[in-house]
Amino acid sequence: MKDESEQFDMLEPLVEKPWGSFQTLISGKGIQFKTISVNPKSALSLQSHKYRSEFWIITKGQATVIVDGETRTLGIHSAIEIPKGSIHRLQNDSDEALEVVELGWGDYLGEDDITRLEDRYGRV
């Protein structure tokens, strides 16, 4: 039997992206926690995931969140669920930093479970 401390992989390296960065803090079978930093005036791809759902908590700044065509503005301590298969985008329209904690869960959590529908950085 595994020791409880062996059930999760802890703190992976920071991953730089054209829109900012993310870091996986904890990853285990079917669940992971990440921090996401979105640069001012930047946005992640308009995307969907086949295998995972996400829950975002805004920890700094103000987020513009699009989920299945509905746009919402979320401030600090606000949260939103992104259901598996939904078309969604996280963006920072402000001049200040945006930081988000993401809980992801599902059958597969790999970064290649992203279908990009639109991208400011030519990654479609």
For 102-112, the pLDDT digits (tens) are 999 999 999 99
Domain map (residue ranges) of the chain: 12-118
Using alpha carbons, select from 111, 101, 109, 50 the residue that is nearest to residue 80.
101
Residue length of the chain: 124
Q: What is the pTM of this model?
A: 0.89
Residue 4 has pLDDT above 70, yes or no: no
| Mean pLDDT (whole number) for 96-122 | 96
| The CATH fold of domain 12-118 | Jelly Rolls (2.60.120)
82 Cβ neighbours under 8 A, 6+ residues apart: 53, 54, 55, 56, 67, 88
pLDDT averaged over every residue in the chain: 93
